[in-house]
């Protein structure tokens, strides 16, 4: 098989990234935007030892699972992966992704994993980070192309609130009038790096402008002018990031307008959102996720619970409704401050938030009190053996593991399975419609 060769094929499956899968001779071929059931003419674009990648030259016969993408930038923009696939097929793909990854990495067979699909509008994102660049003397903004840092201009993006694009159009006009520059990655020059939107369920907005430099009167006046046009804007910050890095936020954050926080809610609980707070992207699915996690945990009034990676206290406060006492552990200082404020805001007293590294702090708690239930919602890298090895001797009866990365979760679950735990329930959630990502939640019990 050689690059540039063409073949007529039928797509028979999806890989872990949502690419169509077919077989040509002894090669597995991954086809960009291939859909199960498609009959295609494909062209080979990259050849490895035992597999290859291909693009579609012609759709000979479209699968019944194929739909026309509703986004004009689909295929160029790196934000979404699956809008060429019917939503029902997306859900099946994600349910199978959880099942197949557990089988491949943890060697565990879980059949029929239920997945909760997104309900209502697909404009679900409550946080969006928009980069700025200068191209051909013009300031542009949007999302990055797949596998690059070239910007695809926004054009009625379907996964965020339409107000964001209106504000961006106005902001571009204001900054051009004031002759402000956009950031150039190669030269590490220019001022404007990102504009971040955070939105609550009341459609109140917090804006964070990330700049390469110091705050001056001109940029501050531009933002205040923007706030004057849009009453939805309730809070504005400027973040300074002078480093040559792909990390979006720098270390210095300055509040320049309106409230210091916006208040969002999940079910009957209220939460302060600050610029760097972690809060689930999809508020509609978050409520379903937490309700299911709480149901799985089946917490009694005598249970002591630990919430690892507790963030601003979202899951912790749900757990405190049922438990005798809850400990939340979080390493980010501002998140811990938010969590403490949120416990006061919701008048929850049977809870304590601890600042520090989870592996270190969990050991301190284990030495002084029993733990009946432990809840994990870790970063993408998962938990790791440093943390898990500490838990095994204490024989904690129940663990709830929430994951945004099924690969890392499967590694951790294998470790727990090898140390006398078993999966009692496994559920998936489509927290990110249109993308290859899936949220999952597991109940693990001591055998």
Cα–Cα distance for residue pair 254/437, rounded to 1 Å: 33
Say what the pTM is.
0.92
Antiparallel, parallel or unpaired: β 351-355 and 325-330: parallel
- Res. 185 pLDDT band, cuts 50 70 90: confident
Cα–Cα distance for residue pair 101/409, rounded to 1 Å: 9
In 3D space, the residue among 297, 291, 302 whose CA is nearest the CA of residue 429 turns out to be 291
* pLDDT for the residue numbered 137: 79
**Model pLDDT for residues 301-331, shown as the tens digit of each residue:** 999 999 999 999 999 999 999 999 999 999 9
Cα–Cα distance for residue pair 306/356, rounded to 1 Å: 14
Mean per-residue pLDDT for 66-71?
Answer: 93
Q: In which region does residue 74 sit, left (phi positive, over 0), alpha (psi from -120 to 50) or beta (all else)?
A: beta
| Residue 316: CB atoms within 10 Å | 27
Which of the two residues, 188 and 412, has the higher pLDDT score? 412
Which of the two residues, 377 and 119, has the higher pLDDT score? 377
Cα–Cα distance for residue pair 165/46, rounded to 1 Å: 36
Read off the tokens for 287. 């409520």
Give the chain's end-to-end CA distance (angstroms, integer): 50
- Res. 146 pLDDT band, cuts 50 70 90: confident
Q: What is the dihedral of CA 72, 76, 79, 80, to 10 degrees?
A: 70
Read off the tokens for 249. 């936020």
Q: Which helix (H) or strand (E) holds 192?
A: strand 192-199
* pLDDT for the residue numbered 19: 96
CB 339 within 8 A of CB 310: yes
**Model pLDDT for residues 121-132, shown as the tens digit of each residue:** 789 999 999 999
Active site members: 404
- Go through the chain and tell me how many residues it has: 447
- Res. 34 pLDDT band, cuts 50 70 90: very high
CA distances to 5, 16, 50, 208, 276 from 46, in Å: 10, 18, 11, 40, 40
State the burial class of residue 58 (Cβ atoms within 10 Å of its Cβ: 0-12, 13-18, 19+): exposed
CB 41 within 8 A of CB 55: no
Q: Which helix (H) or strand (E) holds 10?
A: strand 6-10
CA 224 to mean position of chain CA atoms: 30
Q: In which region does residue 63 sit, left (phi positive, over 0), alpha (psi from -120 to 50) or beta (all else)?
A: beta
- Res. 78 pLDDT band, cuts 50 70 90: confident
CB 157 within 8 A of CB 83: no
* pLDDT for the residue numbered 241: 96
| Residue 174: CB atoms within 10 Å | 16
CB 329 within 8 A of CB 309: yes
Helix axes 162-177, 217-229, angle to 10 degrees: 140
CA 132 to mean position of chain CA atoms: 21
- Res. 112 pLDDT band, cuts 50 70 90: confident
**Each residue of 340-372: b (16+ CB within 10 Å) or e?**
bbbbebbebeebebbbeebbebbeebbeeeebb
Q: Is 101 helix (H, G, I), strand (E, B) or coil?
A: helix
Helix axes 87-101, 406-418, angle to 10 degrees: 30
Cα–Cα distance for residue pair 216/219, rounded to 1 Å: 6
* pLDDT for the residue numbered 122: 86
**Model pLDDT for residues 390-438, shown as the tens digit of each residue:** 999 999 999 999 999 999 999 999 999 999 999 999 999 999 999 999 9
Q: Is 148 helix (H, G, I), strand (E, B) or coil?
A: coil
Read off the tokens for 44. 């080979």
Cα–Cα distance for residue pair 139/136, rounded to 1 Å: 8
Mean per-residue pLDDT for 188-198?
Answer: 94
Q: Is 335 helix (H, G, I), strand (E, B) or coil?
A: helix
Per-chain mean pLDDT for the chain: 94
């Amino acid at each position: 098989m050689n690059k540039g060769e063409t073949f007529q094929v039928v797509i028979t499956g999806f890989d872990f990234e949502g690419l169509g899968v077919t077989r040509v001779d002894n090669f597995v071929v991954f086809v960009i935007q291939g859909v199960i059931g498609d009959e295609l003419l494909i062209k080979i674009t990259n050849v490895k030892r035992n597999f290859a990648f291909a693009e579609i030259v012609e759709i000979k016969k479209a699968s019944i699972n194929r739909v026309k993408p509703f986004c004009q930038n689909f295929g160029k923009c790196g934000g979404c992966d699956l809008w060429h696939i019917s939503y029902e097929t997306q859900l099946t793909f994600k349910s199978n992704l959880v099942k197949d990854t557990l089988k491949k990495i943890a060697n565990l067979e879980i059949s029929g994993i239920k997945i909760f699909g997104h309900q209502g509008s697909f404009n679900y994102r409550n946080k969006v980070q928009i980069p700025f660049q200068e191209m051909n003397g013009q300031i542009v903004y949007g999302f990055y192309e797949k596998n690059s840092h070239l910007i695809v201009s926004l054009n009625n993006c379907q996964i965020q609130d339409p107000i964001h694009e209106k504000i961006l159009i106005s902001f571009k006009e204001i900054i051009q009038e004031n002759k402000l520059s956009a950031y150039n990655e190669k030269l590490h020059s220019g001022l404007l790096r990102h504009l971040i939107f955070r939105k609550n369920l009341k459609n109140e907005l917090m804006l964070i402008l990330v700049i390469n430099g110091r705050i001056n009167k001109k940029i501050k006046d531009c933002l205040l002018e923007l706030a004057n046009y849009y009453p939805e804007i309730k809070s504005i910050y400027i973040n300074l990031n002078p480093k040559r890095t792909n990390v979006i936020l720098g270390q210095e954050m300055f509040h320049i307008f309106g409230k210091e926080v916006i208040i969002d809610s999940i079910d009957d609980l209220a939460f302060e959102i600050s610029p760097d707070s972690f809060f689930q992207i999809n508020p509609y699915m978050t409520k379903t996720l937490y309700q299911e996690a709480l149901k799985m945990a089946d917490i009694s009034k005598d249970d002591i619970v630990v919430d690892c990676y507790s963030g601003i206290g979202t899951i912790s406060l749900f757990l405190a409704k049922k438990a005798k006492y809850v400990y939340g552990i979080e390493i980010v200082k501002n998140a811990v401050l938010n969590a403490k404020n949120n416990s006061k805001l919701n008048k929850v007293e049977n809870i304590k938030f601890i600042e520090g590294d989870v592996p270190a702090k969990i050991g301190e708690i284990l030495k002084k009190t029993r733990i009946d239930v432990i809840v994990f919602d870790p970063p993408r890298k998962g938990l790791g053996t440093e943390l898990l090895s500490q838990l095994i001797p204490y024989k904690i009866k129940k663990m709830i593991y929430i994951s945004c990365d099924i690969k890392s979760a499967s590694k951790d679950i294998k470790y727990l399975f090898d140390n006398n735990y078993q999966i009692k329930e496994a559920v998936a959630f489509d927290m990110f419609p249109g993308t290859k990502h899936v949220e999952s939640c597991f109940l693990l019990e001591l055998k």
